Amino acid sequence: MVRPLGFLVGLGFITALVLAILTTPLKNEVNVAHEFHKHPKHLKLASDGLMPHWDKAQLQRGMQVYKEVCSACHSLHLVAFRDIGDLGYSEGQVKTFAKGYDNIPSINPDTGEPATRTGLPSDYFPSPYANETAARAANNNALPPDLSLITKAREGGKDYVYSLLTGFQNPPANLPKELRPSTGLHYNPYFANLNLAMAPPLTKGQVTFADGSPNTVEAMAADVSAFLVWTAEPKLVKRVQVGWAAFIFLLIFTGLTYLSYRNIWADKKH
């Protein structure tokens, strides 16, 4: 009795599997949004390629754009104030920069109540919101992502960030009604579903650079994208340099090993 029952159960399972294969469509339904979605534009930076280096002037401009524009909504909680010393700032400048933040969460030692204090080089960039609920309440229920690793967390990396910042535009006339941005949303063809809660963050002349560099939307977007490449992987250049050193060492070692082999077996018949 057990064997016939097991056979019937197995036969039913195989039948269900075959029916599922035969009735499943081979093609996915066309995603209408995909027709309007654009691939990120390429952004060329000094940190690209096989011999990368940091353009510290650009990184400093990018940090300024972040501080004056992006920090109003986005955190950078994996980057400490002292880390910006790698961008060419002196120890005194780092301390001055940290003191510019007077909202570092702390505890009053006398009362034990929550308080704030002036920043120290060892502190990390503070979040603009007290918690996630406050962040969503201020952004149409959308949570602004932390930007520390954004160029590694998003497909396309720096190209995606640059394209998103420069891609805000009016919806095309042939965009279906269901894909048009509703109240509080903004059309951007570089975003996955075409509409996002973030308003265009950059406007021409919004940030003034001390070195007189261009402050167009494209220029500022490139600068802050370069800065976010650095925050995501501050050891990128050093890592590539170590990689090249290891490669050259192995190349030389391989050559010496081959020459030793030829010398040891030179008088032997093969």
CB 186 within 8 A of CB 202: no
Of 190, 158, 165, the C-alpha closest to 70 is 165
Lowest-pLDDT range of 1-15, 55-69, 227-241: 1-15
DSSP state of 37: -
CA distance 14 to 175: 45
Residue with token string 């909680």: 77
118 pLDDT band (50/70/90 cuts)?
A: very high
Q: What is the pLDDT of residue 24?
A: 59
Q: What is the pLDDT of residue 31?
A: 66
Torsion of CA 234, 240, 245, 251, to 10 degrees: 160
> Is residue 133 scored above 80 in pLDDT?
yes
Task: Point out which residues pair with 104 in neighbouring strands.
Answer: 117
Mean pLDDT confidence for 79-108 = 93
Residue type at 6? G
Tens of pLDDT, residue by residue over 136-178, are 998 888 999 999 999 999 999 999 999 999 999 999 999 998 8
Tokens in use for 225?
């994208």
Of 215, 231, 84, 55, the C-alpha closest to 157 is 231
For CA atoms 116, 118, 122, 123, give the dihedral sign: positive
Residue count of the chain: 270
Q: What percent of the chain has pLDDT above 70?
A: 91
Mean pLDDT confidence for 103-121 = 85
**Between residues 264 and 123, which one has the greater pLDDT?**
123
Q: What is the mean pLDDT of the chain?
A: 90
